[in-house]
Amino acid sequence: MRIGEITRLTGVSKDTVRFYERQGLLDAAPQPGMTNNYKQYSAQALRRIELIGHAKALGFTLREIAEVIAVWQENALDGETKRIMLETKIAQIDDKARSMAVLRAGLVDALAKVETGCADGMQLASNLPG
């Protein structure tokens, strides 16, 4: 599929697709025609863009996403090394999830205080992770 179809299906711009390609988040799309500059993107590229979008929506940086993609694609790594690297990333995600849960609890507490008219801003600051 060409870039226009990728953008229509994923909702990202052509510039974003090209940026992801330049950053190595997508494999370079082949240009099968000798007389034009049209690239043909694969179904894998479509899935990868959807994965990137989902991960970004969850707060992951492009660098973090690139690390996972690199581990997955690295053919020079043996299965055990890949497993360890992916488990490390999962542990980092778990840590981030715990931190976000603490932050959420602090915000819920602050919201409850706002709704009850309690002016306890200093207490909020001490409850938030930092």
pTM: 0.62
Both 52 and 79 in a single domain?
A: no
In a domain, 65, yes or no: no
Are 46 and 17 a contacting pair, CB within 8 Å?
Answer: no
Separation of alpha carbons 44 and 125, rounded Å: 45
Per-position pLDDT tens, the chain of length 130? 889 999 999 999 999 999 999 998 998 777 776 566 788 888 999 999 998 998 888 778 899 888 888 877 777 778 888 888 888 888 988 998 999 999 999 999 999 988 887 665 555 555 555 5
Question: 6-24 b/e with 16+ CB inside 10 Å = b?
Answer: bbeebebeeebbeebbeee
* Number of domains comprising the chain: 2
Place of tokens 């660098």: 63
Q: How far is CA 92 from CA 71, 76, 87, 88, in A?
A: 15, 24, 9, 6
Both 2 and 54 in a single domain?
A: yes
